[in-house]
Amino acid sequence: MKRRQLLQAASAAIALPGVAFAQAFPSKPIRYIVPVAAGGGNDMTARVVTERWGRLLGQAMPVDNQSGGGGVVASQLTAHAPPDGYTLMQGYVATHGTTPATRKVSYDAIKDFTPIGMIGATPNVLVVNASVPAKTVGEFIQYLKANRGSVSYGSAGAGSLTHLTMELFKQETGTVMVHIPYRGIAPAINDLLGGQTQAMFPGLAAALPHLRSGRMRALAVTGKQRSAQVKDVPTMEEAGFKGFDAMQWYGSVGPAGMPADVVQRLNETQVAVLKSPDLAEKLASEAVEPWPMTPEQFGQYIVADIRRWTALAKARNIRLDE
């Protein structure tokens, strides 16, 4: 009798939709947390990818925008979720790079997460107001040295990638510029166009309309290769700055401790989506280039990015919680 009851219980468990071991992953929708408000490149990238990713997995992947605390709310929600693969997050250069490097946050960007895979990246571009005479990085450096302390640059805010990338440039070149932080990229660009600031390191997507209109000039892009969007603009490496490859990147992560087979399934399907020509066309509108990686490669990238920005923040005395 006891054996029969056990068999009946086992059969009932197999029939239950909520029993994880009885079914292949995924058996229900996957929540995809995006740490920014709806709209903009980060959110668009998430929606374009999850639409195709969910289709390949055979489950919906609803996007859940959680923009509080500059990504901290989303990161905490993800880190504290069950590590079963049904809660993922779009980590990016702020949540898993610049923010942990410049301030104390309530999560560990490495230990509290499982890397799934890189999605893609867009370069930052060194731009100047059209009135600045420099046409190359070398000429801009000469201009800065001739006008030491009188040139200002804008950023999307203290501790942002636009801020730290320019501080990296200043460190590499030994130049001096005054930092003017704004609340977002749009007002920073407006003041550059108006001549209130003279230089900036925005993401390429934000800069493109103004580069095409001629109201700002591109001197170089970050990254290891030229961007297809501005093929005639050299990289910082071509300009003589080896390793100057700071990027605005996006990738998927889950809570720490996810099962290896679930991570593998998610990574393999994500990579398949990223290799689709259709996806590349969609992401091109935000100048995002698909950049597939294994979970191990992506994890190593996160560690290296945090290390890079932490070292820079220390060297430039950038600490935003003091």
| CATH code of the domain containing 67 | 3.40.190.150
Q: Which helix (H) or strand (E) holds 67?
A: none
Q: Which pLDDT value is given to residue 322?
A: 59
Mean pLDDT of 239-257: 96
pLDDT digits (tens, 9 = 90+) for 43-53: 999 999 999 99
- At 137, the pLDDT band (50, 70, 90 cuts) reads very high
Q: Is 293 exposed, middle or buried (0-12, 13-18, 19+ CB in 10 A)?
A: buried
Provide the CATH number for the domain around residue 208: 3.40.190.10
Give the Cβ contact number of residue 5 at 10 Å. Answer: 9
From its phi and psi, is residue 6 left (phi > 0), alpha (psi between -120 and 50) or beta? alpha
pLDDT digits (tens, 9 = 90+) for 6-38: 434 443 333 333 333 335 999 999 999 999 999
> Number of folded domains in the chain?
2
Question: Does the predicted model carry a pTM greater than 0.95?
Answer: no
- Half-sphere exposure for 297 (CA within 13 Å, toward CB): 10
Q: What is the mean pLDDT of the chain?
A: 92
Same domain, 39 and 78: yes
Same domain, 182 and 213: yes
pLDDT digits (tens, 9 = 90+) for 140-186: 999 999 999 999 999 999 999 999 999 999 999 999 999 999 999 99
Mean pLDDT of 309-320: 96
The structure tokens listed for 210 are 């103004």
Does 144 map to a domain?
yes
Does 21 map to a domain?
no
State how far the Cα of 281 lies from the Cα of 278, in Å rounded to an integer: 5
State how far the Cα of 302 lies from the Cα of 159, in Å rounded to an integer: 17
Owning domain of residue 258:
28-123+248-315
- Count each helix (H run) and each strand (E run) in the chain, helices first: 11, 11
Same domain, 139 and 116: no
- Is the confidence at residue 285, as pLDDT, over 90? no
